[in-house]
Amino acid sequence: MKRPFALGDLVAFQTTTGRASQGIVIHKIMEKRQPTIFLIECEDRRRAFRFETELNLVAAAESDDASVHLSRFESPLASPAFATVGADD
């Protein structure tokens, strides 16, 4: 079954204080015995974990390749780094 939210989707949710907020889905946690949990980052860089039942889709990601939207979340060691020839430890 395809989940209603994908990485890069803009979603709306309520904060713990009851305020309406929007953010981009940056991570998805799927477990067998509970609904899918999403990590959402707001424009002001705050992050929140929410169950899929607490989210409303505002705008779908423009492409299926989430790495285009989430490139700033890649670690600097995503590609292997090698020392130059003759470099000392």
Amino acid of residue 50: R
pLDDT value of residue 19: 92
pLDDT in tens, the chain (89 residues): 355 789 999 999 998 899 999 999 999 998 888 889 999 999 889 999 999 999 999 988 876 554 444 444 444 444 445 555 665 55
The two tokens of residue 55 are 């989210």
User: Nearest Cα to 24, choosing from 36, 37, 7?
Assistant: 7
What does the DSSP 8-state code read for residue 46? -
CATH of range 10-66; options 2.30.30, 3.40.50, 3.30.160, 3.30.700: 2.30.30
pLDDT value of residue 84: 59
